[in-house]
Amino acid sequence: MRTAEEYAKAFPEHVVVTSGGESILETIESGKVIVLATPGAEPRAAGGYALVVLMDTWLMLSRDDVRVVEESHRRWFNALALARETAPAVAVGDAVTLQALVRADPIGLASRELATRAETHLPPVGRLGTVDGPADVVEPLAGRTWTPNTEVLGPVPQDDGERLVVRAPRREGAALAAALKAVQAERSAAKMPPVRVRVDPLTF
């Protein structure tokens, strides 16, 4: 709200609107309008935006998420797609990190991300599973047999317990998923509380 007030003072000839949180605008009319939107909440403008400014891009990239680069660029490219065909765009952040935006090269970005995932055996090259639960439940799972080539990472402390990460080659993905499902089935049969199991989670 304070930012909107500052923009209104700086550009008194424009109408300043915000979009985000619980108040997301779907569309806006053309005219002298400045839209302040959170990522993913950008409304469509009649005729397209005359200028798109991506602020504080470093903030999105600072999130602790395996898909942070992919997700950030998806949102940025979506925002740029709302501009008029010849409209300029400005991105505030590290020039090297933003090269895919500067070059309008999502294919190149995807190729580099895929190469990075291959080096670290992360999806979609490998398969990844996480198990979250109390320490006394999760820690014994670290010694469990998953698939012939599963790597076990952790457990690592979480706010409400511990997390175990298991990583396997893609060819063993079905077997890893079955092994994770078996954990839940065993606890259910023993009438024990379930643990949280995820396969190839979008976020951590």
- In tens, the pLDDT along 124-140 reads 888 999 999 999 889 99
The answer, as to whether pTM is greater than 0.75, is no
CA distances to 36, 131, 176, 202 from 156, in Å: 38, 11, 20, 19
The C-alpha angle with vertex 41 and arms to 35 and 42, in degrees rounded to 5, equals: 40
pLDDT of residue 26: 92
For the chain, give the mean pLDDT: 88
129 within 8 A of 178, measured Cβ to Cβ? no
Nearest residue to 128 via CA among 169, 67, 70, 69: 169
Structure tokens at 58: 């470093």
Can you tell me the distance from the alpha carbon of 42 to that of 150, in angstroms, rounded to the nearest whole number?
42
The residue with tokens 């063993």 is 172
Residue 35 corresponds to which amino acid?
A: V
pLDDT in tens, 57-67: 888 888 777 78
124-199, CATH topology level: Alpha-Beta Plaits (3.30.70)
Boundaries of CATH 3.30.70 in the chain? 124-199
Can you tell me the distance from the alpha carbon of 184 to that of 140, in angstroms, rounded to the nearest whole number?
14
Can you tell me the distance from the alpha carbon of 58 to that of 119, in angstroms, rounded to the nearest whole number?
24
Task: Using 50 as the pLDDT threshold, list the residues of the chain that sit under it.
Answer: none
Is it true that the peptide bond before 140 is cis, omega within 30 degrees of 0?
no
pLDDT in tens, 70-83: 888 899 999 999 99
